[in-house]
Amino acid sequence: MRRNLLEINDLKTQEINFLLEEAEAFKEVLARPIKKLPTLRGKTILTLFYEPSTRTRMSFELAAKRMGADVSNIAVSASSIQKGENLKDTVRTLEAMGVDLIIIRHSQAGAPHLVAKTVKASVINAGDGTHEHPTQALLDLYTIKDKKKTFKGLKAAIVGDIAHSRVARSNIWAFTKMDMEVTLIAPPTLLPAEVEKLGLKPIKISYSLEEIIPKLDILYILRLQLERQKKGLFPSLQEYIKLYGVNPEKLRKSKRDLLIMHPGPMNIGVEITESVATSMQSAIEEQVHNGVAIRMALLNYLLGGKNEDPA
C-alpha cells in the first residue's frame, strides 16, 4: 500500500502501468449516464491550493465526487493562513477534523513532502514550485498510451520554458521511465543547470525546434511562465515566438500522426497558435478529459477503495 504521491519517480513502472489500466476502467464509468461509484464513500478529501489552478483542482474534485468521497476546498485567501498560520499548523488542524487525503499545490518546492511528514493522512503533490507535478505526468502518459498504444522507442520533445516547469521535470522522469527518447528544446537561458542529469536514461538537448520536428512522435509544448521569470532570459517575446512558438508553418514537415500536447493553461499566440492547439494532431483537450480518470485511479490506489462497480 502506498500512502502518498509526492514525485513521479517514487512510482515503480508496474505501479504506473497499474494506474493506467485502472484509469481505462474509470474512463468507461465516466462515459456512462450515471458517472458514480461508491468506492470512496466515507472518505474525506481536501484540496489545499496556495497557487491558482483550473484543471488540476477541478479534476481532483470531480474524481473524488464521482467515487463518492466528501470533498472540501480550502480557499487560502479566506483562511487563517492570512493571519499567519504556518503550513504545518494548517495541515495538523485539518487532519484533526478527520481528513483522509490532502491534495496540495504550493509555490515552494518540497511543501508536499513537509505535509506528508506532518500528518498521517495521504498526500498528493498537485504541483510544488518548479519541482514536480506528478499527476500531470500520469495523465500525459495515459494520453500517450491511449493514442500510441505503446511507449517504447517513442521520440518525444519537450519545448519551451523548461527552467520554470514542474511539468517538464515530472515528464522527463515519466517519459524516460517508460522507455521513451526525450529531447529538450529551449533557449539556453530557459534550460536549468545540469538538466541532462534528470531522467532514467540520457536525454538530448537541442536549440532548434524546426530541425527536430520531422523526427518526433510527440511534441510537448510548455507554457512560457512569464510570472516566474526574471528579466533578460531572452531578447524579446517576438524572438521567442519566432524560434520556439509552434505554428502550422513549423509543423509542415512533421509526421502526420505527431501528437501535440500542452499541460495548460496556454498562452495562445506565444508558445502555440490557436490553429495548432485545435488541430487534428492536438491531444490537448484529451489530456484534460483524461485527467479525471487518472485521478480517480490514483485516489482509489492511495485510499484503498475497492473498485466496486454497481452496474
Residues annotated as part of the active site = 55-56, 83, 105, 133
Q: Which is nearer to ligand CP, 55 or 113 (CB)?
A: 55
145, three cell numbers: 498510451
Contacts with ligand CP, 95-134, as mask; x by CB under 6 A: --------------------------------x-----x-
The one among 53, 79, 118, 247 contacting ligand CP by CB under 6 A:
53
User: Within 173-232, which residues bind ligand CP (CB under 6 A)?
Assistant: none
Q: How far is CA 193 from each of CA 108, 189, 202, 226, rounded to the nearest angstrom? A: 19, 9, 15, 19
Using CB under 6 A, pick the residue from 3, 55, 65, 148 that binds ligand CP. Answer: 55
The verdict on 54 binding ligand CP (CB under 6 A) reads yes
Q: How many CB atoms lie within 10 A of CB 87?
A: 18
Residues 6 or more apart in contact with residue 228 via CB below 8 angstroms: 130, 164
CB of 304 to ligand CP, least distance (A): 26
Query: Cα-Cα-Cα-Cα dihedral of 165, 220, 105, 240, to 10°?
Result: 40
Among 218, 199, 111, 98, which Cα is nearest to 158's? 218
Q: How far is CA 243 from the centre of its chain?
A: 25
Instruction: Pick the piece of the chain touching ligand CP (CB under 6 A) from 37-45, 48-56, 235-243, 266-274.
Output: 48-56
Residue closer to ligand CP, measured from CB, 73 or 307: 73
At residue 157, the 3 state secondary structure works out as strand
Joined together, the cell numbers standing for residue 194 give 545540469
**Residue span binding ligand CP (CB under 6 A) among the ranges 47-55, 65-73, 174-182, 277-285:** 47-55
Identify residues 233-292 at the interface with ligand CP (CB under 6 A): 263-265
Residues near ligand CP (CB under 6 A)? 53-56, 127, 133, 136, 263-265
